[in-house]
Amino acid sequence: GYVSVQIGKTKRIYTAESPQRIRLMHEKRLGQFNAMIPWLESMRSAPQPLPGVRFFETRRELETWYLQKLEEYGGRSYSIIGNQKDWQKLNQGFLERVYKVLKEKRIKVKLLFSADSPEPAKSYYEGGERTIKYLPKGYEFRTTIDIFNEEILLVAPELRAVGVLISIPAMRDVFDALFRMLWDGKRVKS
């Protein structure tokens, strides 16, 4: 905008713009910017809501979060809707650490497993406060849903993103109500 160019057949001619034209051009741009200032200020000062979603891309990242969550969750309870086959595919050392923390922190767990889930390992029951119920045949799935007091964790080991943590209270409440409805209608595995 400071120089105008005229292109001829064999040469280009550059001519400086008048200072008045450059001043008007900048005043116009400054006016446009000044009109945006209230909007920019409101964006800067407004609290940005957290999206309430976190993705776990690797099993290691998921395992680290899960163990830390349990360490902080002492004395409380949570619910799981899941498939035991998928958990058995995970690192057995990880599962043993989970069982140990559940026992040490006195965390109660209600598990609602899909019909095709095998019986958990004996070590799962030792010293823990866990109750298991099974869905009827025909209700089989791959994803596991852990319903904590503040959030839900969706674990899908076959997908690229191993897990999704959702910290949106309304969504957590829906999953909790769904779990309680299913739980109340199922028998305890003996």
pLDDT tens-place values along the chain, 190 residues long: 788 888 888 888 888 888 898 888 888 888 888 887 887 777 666 665 557 888 888 888 888 999 999 999 999 999 998 887 766 666 667 878 888 898 899 999 998 888 887 776 665 556 568 888 888 887 777 788 999 999 999 887 665 557 888 888 888 888 888 888 888 876 555 4
The DSSP 8-state label assigned to residue 188 in this structure reads B
Beta bridge partners of 54: 165
Q: What is the pLDDT of residue 179?
A: 87
Question: Encoding tokens for residue 134?
Answer: 């099974």
For 47-80, b/e burial (b = at least 16 CB within 10 A) is eeeeeeeeebeebeebbeebeebbeebeeeebbb
Q: Are strands 77-82 and 144-147 parallel, antiparallel or unpaired?
A: antiparallel
What element of type H or E holds 44?
helix 19-45
E-strand stretches of 67-107: 77-82
Q: Alpha-carbon dihedral of residues 112, 116, 119, 121, nearest 10 degrees?
A: -100
φ, ψ for residue 132, nearest 5 deg: -120, 135
